[in-house]
Amino acid sequence: MPDPTWNRALVTGASSGIGTVLARQLAADGTDLVVVARSEDALRELADELTSAHDVAVDVLVADLTDPGGLAAVEERLRDVAAPVDLLVNNAGFGTTGPFADQDPDTEDQEIQLNVAAVVRLTHAALPGMKARGRGGILNVSSIASFQPIPNMAVYSATKAFVTSFTEAIHEELSGSGVHVTALCPGFTRTNFVDNAGANDDATKLPDVIWMEPEPVAAAGLRAVAANRATVVPGLQYKLSTGASRVLPSAVTRRVISVASRLRGI
């Protein structure tokens, strides 16, 4: 991994998927951890695994980031100068799928709270200490869905568009400060995400080449934030497809995605 390596990382959504793998890779590199999610058993199991396998300390912080109290507890941990966090990984997130008109507004509120508002608040909590120390990293897990509007994932793709835009903006603001800021933009990755989004039947129709394992996705994110890249898209298939969507007019990509998803029944 390029320099810098991190002393202590706080990873949200560490109880499964990409977050668990990020925590494993950081621990293997000797980074102490604060692991955050709602599922206490899964976090404790991960903490036991990582402390036995590597010479690292792992703190478990059980918190629902859509709940003001849970969010405040994580903000407070990020402001703790006695045990500073030098890498914040905003990874927790979920997606809703299907026609917008059929969605539950309360679930969408939670999606916006977790994918957008928590990312902004936790970044605010972490930044002053990092700036004062002249060193730190913020890795925001966005998505390739952030690069164009996606029919039937209208709110999810909009939340991730926010994450990529926000991350790229503060990446520039913090240039030269010693604080690295990176958006990790994965494509379809084998985790619980698709199941939780209620899209498993549709996802089984996708060809194998579409899928990535969480290990290379997490590794690409950690390499990119160490190197202070503004964004990273893991996987050649996604580098090519997102490259095209960034140069084509958005009216064209929107239409292509809409037609492709109808043909596949997604």
Ligand X SMILES: NC(=O)c1ccc[n+]([C@@H]2O[C@H](COP(=O)([O-])OP(=O)(O)OC[C@H]3O[C@@H](n4cnc5c(N)ncnc54)[C@H](OP(=O)(O)O)[C@@H]3O)[C@@H](O)[C@H]2O)c1
For residue 156, indicate whether it is catalytic: yes
Comparison of 140 and 253: residue with beta carbon closer to ligand X: 140
Strand partners, 90: 140
Q: How would DSSP label each residue in 149-202?
A: --TT-HHHHHHHHHHHHHHHHHHHHTTTTTEEEEEE---SBSSSHHHHTT-HHH
Cα–Cα distance, 141 to 156 (Å, whole number):
13
Q: Out of 12, 24, 130, 156, which one is annotated catalytic?
A: 156
Q: Within a 10 A sphere around the Cβ of 45, how many other Cβ atoms?
A: 14
Encoding tokens for residue 48?
């036991």
User: Which residues, in sequence order, are CB contacts of 197 under 8 Å at separation 6+?
Assistant: 94, 95, 96, 97, 156
Residue 249 Cβ, how far from ligand X at the closest point, in Å?
24
Which residues of this protein are in contact with ligand X, per CB under 6 A?
12-19, 37-39, 64-66, 91-95, 114, 141, 143, 186, 188-189, 191-194, 196
Catalytic positions: 156
